[in-house]
């Protein structure tokens, strides 16, 4: 059985409580398909006041996370294994996509490093980080929400986490957005479910969905059509 383990290096492990306890990811953890090991970087500080950050050399606003506690937190989970990808969630990273999520889901283990404050001492990034991932061109207060985005997106691609086939036709799976979805009732505030979906005619339904997928991609995200095949 394919499983994936995420070791999350963070100063704020409690932020992950919701993802661990709720819904699909919570169930995947209960079933042993996904493991999330939260490592509090502060537990590894050697500072007698438990500090994990300090002023930036050269001056400037904010605090920088120090290298030593992060390195020791990393060693506590990686041990001597240098083959585990270490992903630093960073606004400077490569933009996260469904294609990157699919590649990451091939791993058995991922180490996710969450920054906070002004960021992390560059030397630890050089020493341990293999990939930098951004969830978009905006700046958050910390890497915890981006780490949850990566965990959620990658976990649902692990076989058994979702019903078989549910990830095959969804948005981005073949470079298109998904077709419109409807459920009961057949009519809501005068708006009817498209006739073809009630017809039971599988070939026509498939054709309609393909056309709708194409049309809405053209309308909402036309640039995706040029990138088809990349994801």
Q: How far is the CB of 104 from ligand SAM (least distance, A)?
A: 14
Burial of 138 (0-12, 13-18, 19+ CB in 10 A): exposed
Question: Closest separation between CB of residue 116 and ligand SAM, Å?
Answer: 5
> 88 and 120 in contact (C-beta within 8 Å)?
yes
Task: Tell me whether residue 143 or residue 175 sits nearer to ligand SAM (CB atom).
Answer: 143
List contacts with ligand SAM (CB under 6 A): 89-92, 114-116, 118-120, 134-136, 138-143, 146
Minimum CB separation of residue 211 from ligand SAM in Å reads 35
Residue nearest to ligand SAM (CB): 115
Q: Which is nearer to ligand SAM, 151 or 176 (CB)?
A: 151
Minimum CB distance to ligand SAM smaller for 140 or for 196: 140
Please, which residue, 44 or 96, has the CB nearer to ligand SAM? 96
Specify the DSSP element, H or E, that contains 7.
strand 4-10
Axis-axis angle for helices 23-30, 144-155 (nearest 10): 70
Quick one: 115 or 175, whose CB is closer to ligand SAM? 115
Q: How far apart are CA 185 and CA 180, in angstroms?
A: 15
Minimum Å gap between C-beta 130 and ligand SAM is: 15
Q: Are 124 and 71 in contact (CB under 8 A)?
A: yes
Output the smallest distance, CB 172 to ligand SAM, in A: 19
CA–CA separation, 176 vs 214, rounded Å? Answer: 6
218: left (phi over 0), alpha (psi -120 to 50) or beta: alpha
Q: Residues 212, 179: contact at Cβ < 8 Å? A: yes
Neighbours of 230 (CB within 10 A): 9
**To the nearest 5 percent, what fractions of the chain are helix, strand and coil?**
35, 20, 45
- Rounded Cα–Cα distance for residues 90 and 103 (Å): 19
Of 69 and 115, the one with the shorter C-beta distance to ligand SAM is 115
- In the complex with ligand SAM, the residue whose CB is nearer, 116 or 156, is 116
- Nearest distance, CB of residue 137 and ligand SAM, angstroms: 7
Q: Nearest approach, Cβ of 64 to ligand SAM (angstroms)?
A: 9
């Amino acid at each position: 059985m394919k499983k994936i383990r995420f070791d999350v290096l963070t100063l704020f492990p409690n932020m992950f409580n919701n993802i661990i306890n709720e819904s699909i990811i919570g169930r995947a953890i209960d079933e042993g398909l996904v493991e999330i090991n939260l490592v509090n970087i502060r537990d590894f500080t050697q500072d007698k006041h438990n500090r994990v950050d300090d002023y930036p050399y050269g001056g400037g606003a904010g605090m920088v996370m120090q290298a030593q506690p992060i390195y020791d937190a990393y060693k506590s989970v990686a041990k001597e294994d240098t083959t585990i990808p270490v992903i630093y969630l960073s606004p400077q990273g490569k933009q996260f996509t469904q294609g990157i999520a699919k590649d990451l889901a091939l791993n058995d283990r991922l180490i996710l490093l969450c920054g906070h404050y002004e960021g992390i001492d560059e030397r630890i990034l050089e020493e341990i980080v293999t990939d930098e991932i951004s969830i978009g061109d905006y700046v958050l207060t910390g890497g915890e929400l981006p780490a949850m985005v990566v965990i959620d997106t990658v976990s649902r691609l692990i076989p058994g986490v979702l019903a078989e086939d549910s990830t095959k036709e969804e948005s981005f799976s073949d470079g298109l957005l998904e077709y419109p979805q409807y459920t009961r009732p057949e009519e809501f505030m005068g708006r009817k479910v498209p006739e073809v979906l009630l017809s039971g005619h599988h070939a026509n339904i498939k054709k309609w969905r393909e056309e709708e997928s194409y049309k809405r991609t053209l309308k909402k995200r036309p640039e995706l059509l040029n990138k088809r095949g990349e994801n």
